[in-house]
Structure 1
Amino acid sequence: MPIASFSPLPALLRFLSTLALGLAGGAAAFAVDLPLPWLLGAMLATTLASLAGARLRSPGRGRQGVLVVIGVMLGSAFTPEMSGDPGRWSLSLAAMLGATAVMMLFSVWFSRRIAGHSLDTALYAGVPGGVSAVTGMALDSGADLRVVGMTHAVRILVLLVAIPPVLDGIGHVSLTAATTDPGRWLWLPGPADAAWLAGAGVLGAWLGGRLRLPNALLFGPALVSSALHLTGLTHAALPPTLIALAQVIIGVSVGVRFTGTALTTLGHTLAMAALQALGLLAIAILAAWAIHAATGVSLAAALLAYMPGGAPELSLVALSLGIDPAFVTAHHLLRITVLILLMPVLLGACRRSSA
């Protein structure tokens, strides 16, 4: 077999036009001071192009590399000086699990009674998080995979678009871009710091697979990086240019999910998914407000931690805006772990009750 068949170069070349569109969208959003410009600009540009009929390419393995980068970035938020009351964290984690149960009940009810989907489709489409794992589990079921995929994609899209106005409305965080000096885009870590970061990414990706962590390429590097930063072995940070590129690729990853989507034939599915996402957002806002009032936990951090799904996307938002990324990441890791462990039990119980 020709060696060239193993090369990722052709796939990379096919993706370059999609990446260029994402970069253009991010640059345009940055130029007009849109909050989260590289993420939202890339996402909106590729989503609109996809819905208009453009055949955009997925980042493929490039997204896997970006997950490792995001994991390393998230780990850098766990510092020895990190503030946080363990008691409040515990209460918040418990409240998040309670809110997740309410979200799951609402999603399944909405998908069954309002959208008219089958039980299997409603269950897999209604899981508030873990889109990659859930889609893989749905392959062996009777679920409509197109509806499951579209529902999760639309949910992430709605949540990311809603974040700036919601955070602006609660007034607990500044959405002003942190990197305004052009010279900061050229900053690079030193050789020693770069070695620590690269080592955290490689070791974390391997460890995440060995431990069978959910979203191993994200949470494995996050665990190794957090251990390095918590112990003070390194205070290394990633350059702003790499963070912006990671946001672009994550935004593109959301947008290309709508490639091949015909509004005329999938309009009902998209509309139902958007309404369901808005309902879940309302539940997340109420739960975040309640835990903030009860414990004093940051309302903005609780909101990002309680939002249903999109762990890489929401953790990256927390990191980009400086909204307690460690707190947000811990909540999403617990949510995904519990959901994956309980999904077989939930499926069995629902099928027995409907039999």
Structure 2
Amino acid sequence: MAKKTLRTLVLGCLGGVIATLFSLPLAWMLGALFMVMAVSLGGVKTGVDKRLHRVAIALLGLFIGSRIQASELVSLVQWYPSVLAMLVYMGLMLVGGYFIFTRASVGPMDAMFCAYPGSMNSALVLAERANGDVRWIAISHSLRLVTVVSGAALLASFFVDDVTLQSSPVSLSLMDGLPLLLAPVCWWLARLLRIPIPEFLGPMAAGAIIANLGMNYSLPTWVVFTAFLVLGSSVGARFSGTHWSQVVSVGRFGMVYALFALIVAALMAWLVASITQLSFVAVLLALIPGGVGEMAVIAMVMDIDPVYVVSHHVLRLLLLIFMTPLVIRIAKQAAA
């Protein structure tokens, strides 16, 4: 298994480098995913050790938790029109996406996770723990993410000359090491308390607690990219034994869903902007299901309050995580 894991990660690393050169969003996850998926479909035996996969999930939880600020969520009270619009938008995405993906001949539960309006990483982790087929979920979210982020960047290009992403620190300081030490403890406590997805929610709680205690820390770039590389490679390896025709078939519906997400977000943003003093572009960036970091940076270069945008995305992430048991129950009833 060690040789197979090393071979898979080397292929994923190559995909990450290529995706970075083409400036793809979440390059080290999507690049690794597509590269390993391609060679897996070509007959190469790939796979990632499950223990390494769980560690990557824990790092992802820590990374997401570090971005959760209680002060940002409190600010949502004064932006309740767009928050309500976001809730309606989430409902439309789940219902519309479920309708779209059930036409792609995937199961009800997989269709529901394919329709998750945002957070590709969380959707994959949650779907895997619910015994979902992460192959189709990965395809749908990859297309959604690339389409949405590219569309947002294109929109920003009409207002500014350069849209770039800020980099994270590359060194590991003592403060950065604290959450890395606390994450396994929270993982263990979450498992002891029988909290679902302990390797994800435990470290996420650790990151959120440290961030809200006023300790300014940020995981170094290489730690985050390594987690993305492992997760992307692991998902790509799931395509062993899958035919290209299946990928193309589901991919068509994934693109339809991505366009559906953009069109509905634009309509909702126009509605909110027409009845409030919030700008159309600001509401659009808060609604569209892209990456939190990408949307925040695009907001900053467009001189839009990044706290406004990020707070909406963080709230949506939390809602999606905690509504997962209900989503699974509804999907199982639909399949019965």
Residue 61 of structure 1, aligned match among 51, 54, 58: 51
Measured after TM superposition, the shift of residue 259 of structure 1 is: 2.7
For structure 1, the residue ranges without an aligned partner over 5 or more in a row are 1-10, 140-144, 308-313
CA contact (8 A) 1:97 1:335 kept: no
Taking the aligned partners of 2:335 and 2:196, their CA distance within structure 1 comes to 25
- Give, as a single letter, the amino acid of the residue that structure 2 aligns with 1:201: A
1:279 counterpart = 2:260 = yes
Cα deviations by residue, 1:124-162 (Å, 9 ceiling, x for unpaired): 42343344544555x6xxxxx7xx544312112212322
- Once residues 287 and 79 of structure 1 are traced to their aligned partners in structure 2, the CA distance between those partners, rounded to angstroms, is 26
Question: What corresponds to 1:178 in structure 2?
Answer: 166
Of 229, 232, 253, the match for 2:234: 253
Aligned residue identity for 1:335: L
Closer, same or farther in 2 for the Cα pair 1:40/1:212, shift >3 Å? Answer: same
> Could you tell me the TM-score, scaled by structure 1's length?
0.71
> In structure 1, what residue type is equivalent to 2:97?
S
What is the identity percentage for the equivalent residue pairs of Structure 1 and Structure 2?
22
Judged with a 3 Å threshold, the aligned counterparts in structure 2 of structure 1 residues 123 and 245 are, in CA distance, closer, same or farther, namely: closer
Does structure 1 retain, via aligned residues, the 8 Å contact 2:82–2:283?
no
Report the equivalent of 1:167: 152
Structure 2 unaligned spans of 5+: 117-122, 301-305
Assess if the C-alpha contact under 8 Å between 1:133 and 1:214 holds in 2.
no
Partner of 2:216: 235
2:303 is aligned to none
Q: Cα gap change, 1:64/1:265 in structure 2, threshold over 3 Å: closer, same or farther?
A: closer
Residue identity opposite 1:178 in structure 2:
Q
Q: In 2, are the aligned partners of 1:35 and 1:175 still within 8 Å (CA)?
A: no
Instruction: Mark the CA change 1:124 to 1:40 in structure 2 (over 3 Å): closer, same or farther.
Output: closer
Alignment partner of 2:241: what SS? coil
How far apart in 2 are the matches of 1:56 and 1:207? Answer: 33
CA contact (8 A) 1:179 1:240 kept: yes
Q: Within 5 A, what are the aligned runs for 1:114-153?
A: 114-115=103-104, 117=105, 121-127=107-113, 128-129=115-116, 130-134=123-127, 137=130, 148-153=133-138
C-alpha change, 1:106 and 1:68, in structure 2 (3 Å) is same
SS for the counterpart of 2:238 is: helix
The corresponding residue for 1:220 is 202
Call closer, same or farther: CA 1:105–1:47 in 2, change over 3 Å.
same
- Following TM superposition, by how much is the alpha carbon of 1:281 offset from its aligned partner in structure 2, in angstroms? 5.1
Partner of 1:262: 243
In the aligned structure 1, how far is the partner of 2:51 from the partner of 2:16?
Answer: 21
Deviation at 1:168, TM superposition (A): 0.9
- Taking only aligned residues, the RMSD between alpha carbons, in angstroms, comes to 3.8
Query: Would the alpha carbon gap of residues 175 and 73 (structure 1) be closer, same or farther in structure 2, given more than 3 Å must change?
Result: farther
TM-score by length of 2: 0.74
Give the 3 Å change call, closer, same or farther, for CA 268–298 of structure 1 in structure 2.
closer
Q: Which residue of 1 aligns with 2:173?
A: 189
1:19 Cα deviation after fit: 0.8
**Cα displacement (A) at 1:263:** 1.6
Larger Rg: 1
Are residues 70 and 124 of structure 1, via their aligned partners in 2, closer, same or farther at CA, if it must alter by over 3 Å? closer
Q: What count of residue pairs does the alignment treat as equivalent?
A: 314
Report SS of the residue matched to 1:17: helix
The alpha-carbon distance between structure 1 residues 69 and 251, as it changes in their structure 2 partners (threshold 3 A), is same
Residue in 1 aligned with 2:29? 39
What amino acid is aligned across from residue 238 of structure 1 in structure 2?
Answer: L
> Residue 340 in 1 paired to residue 328 in 2?
no
